[in-house]
A and B are shown apart, each in its own frame.
Chain A
Amino acid sequence: MRSQNVRSLLLTVILAAAWSRGAVADSSRPLTDTLDALVSTAVIVEGSVTEHTYTYDAAAGPRTVATLSEVRAQLGNYRGNTLQVANLGGPITERRWLFIPELPRLTDGTRYLVFLTNSAWFYSPVVGEYVFRLEPGPRGSDVLIAPSGHAVTGITAEGLEFTDEPVVDTQLDFLRPHARQPLLSTDPALLAGAMAKEDFLTAVRSLAWTAPLQGEFRGAPATDRVWDRMSTSEDTSPLTTTNGH
């Protein structure tokens, strides 16, 4: 493991201690719309990434831990003013790296609005892709940028709406994996169509009347599995002669 990540040992100890609560397997439902996301959420927080570290544990696997500071709950309850988002992925050894494209990635010096899951989690504590970079918008309010790099323009019970074009280049370079990515343009028009954070949160609070946030956020991954072996699901479907070619 790289020398800069020696601090990971301490975090590993912290994570291991937290597991003693005995989390169970992930149980939240698949996300098909915003309401699914809300009922899978314990708390929505806002904070700034001030540090990235790596941990490794034989069971939990390699983790990239983003520390958010000045954390405050926007909806739901969260105690403390820091948050560690420990996604699966990162260095295993000096010459081996695990990368999971489906998981959200946070960058240094960036403010985020994060939906934290209410279920026992293993891969990421973030609900789906409900983690939004916050950027000052042209009208003085913050606007939200999704992991895809597109700005959020609306939210309904059915899902999120985005700008047609991305506003941030989301390309990942492993030489600087946590580098904050610049906006694609400094022209204020770039974010003109984006939804203000306040409007977004107002809409979320309204939707939460139908699909209220519930449960508690667990700070550490579930302990009922290991990262490097996965049970498969027996195929009991009828055989078919179609081969798809």
Chain B
Amino acid sequence: MNSKNIAAGAALLAGFLMASTAGAYTYTTCGDVKVVWSSGFSMVQNTFSIAPGSSRESALNNAIGRWRGVDGMMDMVSKSATVNSGSSVAILNFQNDVAVVASANIGNNNGLTLMLSDGCFFGGDMEWIEADVMVASNLAPYGPLDETSLVTSGRKTFIHEFGHAHGLGHSQRFDDMRSAQPRPQVGGTGETVDVLPDDAQGGRFLYPSGNSEVNLFATAHRRTSNDKIVTNDTGTFIFCSKGGGSITLNATVGNNGTVDVKQTERWWVSTSGTAYSGGTLIGSWANGTFLANKVKTRQVTFTMPALTPGTYFLYHGVDVLKEVAESREDDNNVREVVKIQVNNC
């Protein structure tokens, strides 16, 4: 970050809550007692439809890895050493299968998870005994997604269906368990399809380990008040090179950890599309606190500094001073969708 360009005059004119989410996860019960697996469950990969080394396997591995990566939640799901190389999978065979199938075979859903349980007779006597996860074959890309992407993808479907496999239901928030895509992502240069705050909180509720997690992320997405997942801002802002214009931005930060985090944010611009580690600062916000298990979108307004004419990318970073040790550090800085055009004037 170029400290000379720290916009000392950058004014934080507005910062208000637009949307926050927490505790919105859903699950099933038997006599008010949560229905869960009694122990960890292994998924048998159908290698006919999810070939080893393929992008589909990448999506599968990501979903398992991300759910296992939720600190504070027991590691429930794993990949079985056994594989099924056949061109079909069986339900009710006490084997947890994961496969990719034709969309028409699952009612044109993007994914479908069939959960089998024993009976619920008295309350508290029901548990999951089998989960079969099906993901539609027409959902490419299955591979890693750009942080700004709102595409309907197999990668997001896998992580959603594995939420069901753990016992979570749908919830319409800034989360993976939304019933329909698009679903939001975390920003940064690492994996962008991750378990989001409500999902993680739900997983910790169903399978608590007692451990804690610290992790903030910046994201290029936000949830609107009428329940749409959109990018924070779109289009191009135009400014004069002499600086002085005002810019108002939507900024979204998620905390998918278990503790509130106080930190410093920055916004910067660069003509490079990969300037995650810094550029010309346009604004900062010190000592901002983000609550555990919440996603917050707020509007911030800054005064633009003088800039060389050109087209700039906009970046937003959380915990930029590295004040907090996090379980992930590669999701802190996001390149937003909006562009900034600086003209010679």
Which one, B133-141, B246-254, B287-295, is touching chain A?
B133-141
- Interchain nearest-CB distance for A61 vs B (Å): 8
The CB with the most chain B CB atoms within 10 A, among A29, A98, A148, is that of A148
Assuming the contacts A123-B107, A174-B30, asked whether A242 and B143 have C-beta atoms less than 8 A apart, the reply is: yes
A164:B225 contact, CB within 8 angstroms: yes
Chain A residue at smallest Cβ distance from B104: A26
Q: Say if the beta carbon of A124 comes within 8 Å of chain B.
A: yes
- Give CA–CA (A242, B52) in the complex, Å: 11
B30:A229 contact, CB within 8 angstroms: no
Q: Say if the beta carbon of A153 comes within 8 Å of chain B.
A: yes
Chain A residue at smallest Cβ distance from B119: A95
B62:A245 contact, CB within 8 angstroms: yes
Assuming the contacts A124-B107, A171-B28, A245-B61, asked whether A98 and B171 have C-beta atoms less than 8 A apart, the reply is: no
Chain B positions within 8 Å of A228 at CB level? 90-92
Which one, A9-17, A73-81, A131-139, A232-240, is touching chain B?
A232-240
Q: Say if the beta carbon of A203 comes within 8 Å of chain B.
A: no
Which one, B5-13, B109-117, B309-317, is touching chain A?
B109-117
Q: A11-28 interface mask toward B, CB cutoff 8 Å, 1 = contact, 0 = none?
A: 000000000000001111
- Give CA–CA (A91, B198) in the complex, Å: 30
Chain A residue at smallest Cβ distance from B191: A244
B114:A240 contact, CB within 8 angstroms: no
A244:B59 contact, CB within 8 angstroms: yes
Chain B positions within 8 Å of A245 at CB level? 61-62, 65, 191
Chain A positions within 8 Å of B92 at CB level? 92, 96, 98, 228
The CB with the most chain B CB atoms within 10 A, among A26, A91, A122, A153, is that of A26
Q: Say if the beta carbon of B88 comes within 8 Å of chain A.
A: yes
B51:A239 contact, CB within 8 angstroms: yes
Assuming the contacts A94-B119, A129-B179, A164-B19, asked whether A233 and B137 have C-beta atoms less than 8 A apart, the reply is: yes
Q: Say if the beta carbon of B54 comes within 8 Å of chain A.
A: yes
Assuming the contacts A174-B29, A245-B61, asked whether A101 and B51 have C-beta atoms less than 8 A apart, the reply is: no
B119:A239 contact, CB within 8 angstroms: no
- Interchain nearest-CB distance for B82 vs A (Å): 16
- Interchain nearest-CB distance for A244 vs B (Å): 3
Q: Say if the beta carbon of B213 comes within 8 Å of chain A.
A: no
Chain A positions within 8 Å of B101 at CB level? 230-233
B123:A175 contact, CB within 8 angstroms: yes
Chain A positions within 8 Å of B171 at CB level? 148
Q: B95-130 interface mask toward A, CB cutoff 8 Å, 1 = contact, 0 = none?
A: 000011111111111111111111110010010010
Chain A positions within 8 Å of B152 at CB level? 32
- Interchain nearest-CB distance for B161 vs A (Å): 9
Q: A25-54 interface mask toward B, CB cutoff 8 Å, 1 = contact, 0 = none?
A: 111111110000000000000000000000
A172 touches which one: B28, B52, B116, B143 (CB < 8 A)? B28
- Give CA–CA (A25, B99) in the complex, Å: 19
Assuming the contacts A240-B58, A245-B65, asked whether A235 and B113 have C-beta atoms less than 8 A apart, the reply is: no
B55 touches which one: A32, A171, A175, A242 (CB < 8 A)? A242
What number of A residues sit within 8 Å (CB to CB) of B?
62
B28:A99 contact, CB within 8 angstroms: yes
Chain A positions within 8 Å of B169 at CB level? 101, 170-172
- Give CA–CA (A26, B103) in the complex, Å: 9
Chain B positions within 8 Å of A25 at CB level? 104-105
Chain A positions within 8 Å of B138 at CB level? 30
Q: Say if the beta carbon of B235 comes within 8 Å of chain A.
A: no
- Interchain nearest-CB distance for B46 vs A (Å): 5
A231:B53 contact, CB within 8 angstroms: no
B110:A172 contact, CB within 8 angstroms: no
B172:A166 contact, CB within 8 angstroms: yes
A153:B226 contact, CB within 8 angstroms: yes
Chain B positions within 8 Å of A112 at CB level? none
Chain B positions within 8 Å of A121 at CB level? 107
- Give CA–CA (A225, B100) in the complex, Å: 17
- Interchain nearest-CB distance for A37 vs B (Å): 11
Q: Say if the beta carbon of B205 comes within 8 Å of chain A.
A: no
A173 touches which one: B28, B62, B134, B144 (CB < 8 A)? B28
- Interchain nearest-CB distance for A34 vs B (Å): 12
Q: Say if the beta carbon of A212 comes within 8 Å of chain B.
A: no
Chain B positions within 8 Å of A240 at CB level? 53-55, 58, 143
Chain B positions within 8 Å of A115 at CB level? none
Chain A positions within 8 Å of B90 at CB level? 228-229
Chain A positions within 8 Å of B104 at CB level? 25-27
Chain A residue at smallest Cβ distance from B35: A174
- Could you name 12 residue pairs across A and B whose Cβ atoms are closer than 8 Å? A25-B104, A29-B108, A32-B152, A96-B119, A97-B119, A102-B109, A124-B107, A227-B91, A234-B87, A235-B100, A237-B142, A239-B54
| Shortest 5 CB-CB contacts between residues of A and residues of B | A244-B62, A174-B120, A233-B137, A232-B49, A161-B226
